[in-house]
Chain A
């Protein structure tokens, strides 16, 4: 199997708190990988490690066969990312913000217009980023990630703050991306119902532990075997998390 991102026993500890615990992910090239988990499960921390924003305490990972920190610049050139909340220069317009990123990536001028069009921000490109609504800031962040159509996209809850039609629009866009220019997408969310509509493969994380990794079909089979209806994957996800939490409490009591 041709994997674009692989992690091996990836672990991140903050003093005594283990945010990510021995997580081994395998993300297929050209697929959309949904990274699921409740708030505080360690999704963002894992993504931050993949982007070199924080160093792993243990374990390793490769992105397109390259490793941090030796290949930092080469990896970041291939990855479009959007982590936690949109990051932008408040004193610059949307277009100027993207132009800064374009210059760093050495892309042609047309890539800014292209990215603005992709996220539906074309008519607001000249407005100061600080005057954008939350949804528009989110779109600007996404445009920054999509700039130059990178082969790998790491998106942390990109639909946060968007209205239902915005969520639908962005979801459709993300769904189209691998077909559009053969990119690999790692997208996180705490809602299975959302990931279910986009992802080819899924990884479920709870308290830093990877509870499940496989295709959506495998998750459905798993749901049926556990007595859940295959069309109620959300229940299956919640039950998986609850079971893990209960087991955790029992271990803590012992």
Chain B
């Protein structure tokens, strides 16, 4: 808890927290604006109203979240490498893996808040614009959870990569490459492509149904745990040599 509070203090003036909140607000604003403009077109699609609400706007919201995660992960470690601050941390009586875990936790909470904002907007749209009785709160919650879980492998992967690269452009480049390769592979049905964390995050956007895919959920949970373990293990080995 002490390390977590200290990590939050370190974030001061980095802009990570307002940035992730802005991602959430921007996603919510996009949902409102898109529904306002495209409402009729969306309801003419051969899909159930809840599927329309949850899947048709998720593509852009997901891309926003993905770039939010990539940039925030780069920023959260860039402040450690800028001014060699992390070197001082290595020389202090504290656990570097715990510091890593707290950074992971901060980004997870911020992503959760961003997704919560976006889903609050979708709930509002669902309650006011969907046909009477068409809005299903449970489906809404399930999809919100699904989009959060499928975003976690990218977050876990990006925190790991950022912690190992002192030059911020390297993880940023890896993030962009991950997004582009993920886009190319997301439409493919082969389950092995789910190893790619960016493909996992793109899966709900590529699907036409809001029903969570349990195989994708399983891959997400395993990949999140694997990348987090890699990061914690690598954090034990100082990068000062």
Residues of A within 8 A of B (CB): 48, 51-54, 72-74, 76-77, 79, 81, 83, 85-92, 96, 99-101, 103-105, 128-130, 144
A89-B79, A99-B9, A104-B94 known; 12 new pairs, CB 8 Å cut-off, are: A53-B90, A53-B240, A73-B93, A76-B92, A88-B84, A89-B83, A90-B85, A100-B9, A104-B6, A128-B13, A129-B83, A144-B88
Report the separation of the CA atoms of residues A56 and B91 in the bound assembly, to the nearest whole angstrom.
16
Which of B2, B83, B240 is close to A90, meaning CB atoms less than 8 Å apart?
Answer: B83
Pull 30 A–B residue pairs with CB atoms less than 8 Å apart, ordered by A.
A51-B91, A53-B240, A54-B238, A72-B93, A77-B93, A79-B91, A85-B84, A86-B84, A87-B83, A87-B86, A88-B85, A89-B79, A89-B83, A89-B85, A90-B79, A90-B82, A90-B85, A91-B13, A91-B14, A92-B13, A99-B9, A100-B6, A100-B9, A101-B88, A101-B92, A103-B9, A104-B6, A104-B92, A130-B83, A144-B88
Cα distance, A104 to B91, chains bound together (Å): 11
Given A88-B85, A89-B85, A83 and B14 touching (CB < 8 A)? Answer: no
Which of chain B's residues has its CB closest to A54's CB? B241
For B99, give the chain A residue with the smallest CB separation: A104
Q: How far is the CB of A172 from chain B (nearest CB, A)?
A: 25
Query: In the complex, A253→B84 CA distance in Å?
Result: 41
C-alpha gap A81/B93 in the complex (Å): 12
The answer to whether B85 touches A87 (Cβ under 8 A) is: yes
Are B88 and A87 in touch, CB under 8 angstroms?
Answer: yes
Q: A91–B79 contact, CB under 8 A?
A: yes
User: Is B12 part of the contact surface with A, judged by Cβ < 8 Å?
Assistant: yes
Report the Cα distance A83→B241, complex, angstroms: 13
A-chain residues with CB within 8 Å of residue B9 when the two chains form the complex: 96, 99-100, 103
The yes or no answer to B124 lying at the interface (CB within 8 A) is no
B14 to chain A, nearest CB (A): 5
Which of A52, A54, A88, A105 contacts B83, CB < 8 Å? A88
Say yes or no for B39: interface residue by CB 8 A criterion: no
**B90 contact set on A, CB distance < 8 A:** 51-53
Known: A54-B241, A96-B12. A87 touches B87 (CB 8 A): yes
CB distance from B86 to the nearest CB of A (A): 8
Sorted from nearest, which 7 A-B pairs have the closest CB atoms? A87-B88, A76-B93, A87-B84, A53-B240, A90-B83, A91-B13, A73-B93
B199 CB, min distance to chain A CBs, angstroms: 34
Contact in complex: B241, A53 (CB < 8 Å)? yes
Chain B residues, Cβ within 8 Å of A101: 88, 92
Instruction: Answer whether A83 and B6 are a contact pair too, CB < 8 Å, given A54-B240, A92-B13.
Output: no
Chain A residues with CB under 8 A of B91: 51, 53, 76, 79, 81, 83
Among B9, B10, B13, B91, chain A packs the most CB atoms within 10 A around the CB of B91
Residues of B within 8 A of A96 (CB): 9, 12
- CB neighbours (8 Å) of B238 from chain A are 52-54
Q: Is the CB of B93 within 8 A of A91?
A: no
Q: Which residues of A contact B14 (CB under 8 A)?
A: 91
Residues of B within 8 Å of A86, CB to CB, are 83-84
Q: How far is it, in angstroms, between the C-alpha of A91 and the C-alpha of B10 when the chains are bound?
A: 8
User: How many whole Å from A16's CB to the nearest CB in chain B?
Assistant: 16
Across-interface contacts of A76 in B (CB, < 8 A): 91-93
Nearest-neighbor residue (CB-CB) of B6 within chain A: A103
Q: Which residue among A74, A86, A129 has the maximum number of chain B CB atoms within 10 Å of its CB?
A: A86
**A-chain residues with CB within 8 Å of residue B85 when the two chains form the complex:** 87-90
Q: Within the assembled complex, what's the spacing in Å between the Cα atoms of A85 and B12?
A: 23
In angstroms, how far is the closest chain A Cβ from the Cβ of B207?
40
Residues in A neighbouring B92, C-beta threshold 8 A: 76, 101, 104-105
Q: Mark B165-195, 1 if CB is under 8 A from A, else 0.
A: 0000000000000000000000000000000
**Residues of chain B from 30 to 60 with CB closer than 8 A to chain A in the complex:** none
* Alpha-carbon distance between A90 and B228 when the two chains are bound, in angstroms: 27
Distance in angstroms between the alpha carbons of A250 and B207 in the assembled complex: 74
A235 to chain B, nearest CB (A): 36
**Contacts of A88 on B, CB cut-off 8 Å?**
83-85, 88
